[in-house]
Structure 1
Amino acid sequence: MAMTREEFEAKLGVVLRDHGIGTTADLTDELVAYWTGQRVGYVLINESPSGSSYEEFVMDDVQWNIWRSWLEAWIDSPMFSVRP
């Protein structure tokens, strides 16, 4: 059975809280998640020749259906970074 967004965010939230402040979950090459202190937050990273830009991302049910296969795969092979 496919994972729900709520199940994914519950698992991800525990992991991010355990890793501490400044840790991001590198969900894909362009999507990262972090712990806000209350919930999981998401950021899209856009790389360009002039630099990187960061945009808050809302993971609603529509976006979950688009991203779900990548995010479920991430659970099996999680990657993290530490960011300032």
Structure 2
Amino acid sequence: MRFLDLCDKEVVSVGEGRYIGHVRDMEFDPVCGKICAIIVPGPGKYLGCFCRDYEYCIPWVKIVKIGPDIILVDICENDMQRKI
């Protein structure tokens, strides 16, 4: 699977059943090259588009399932926020 294939998928929290967003970046382990986390931008401040305060950093081990059009994650919102 390519990174662009992941970017097209919606990320949804299994526990809350809430739409989180689309994948925009990934974190890699520089030593072994494995994927550590996926990065999803947080909600925008103005009209839902501009000036994001934080992003969601979702560890790779918290991904439950990657389907044809969705990525299911088992994590709550407070555990995955990271200040930009």
Select the structure that is richer in strand: 2
Identify which of structures 1 and 2 has the higher relative contact order when contacts are C-alpha pairs closer than 8 Å and 6+ apart.
Answer: 1
Q: What range describes the TM-score normalised by the shorter chain of this pair?
A: 0.3 to 0.5
Higher fraction of helix? 1
So what's the TM-score if we normalise by structure 1?
Answer: 0.35
TM-score (norm 2): 0.35
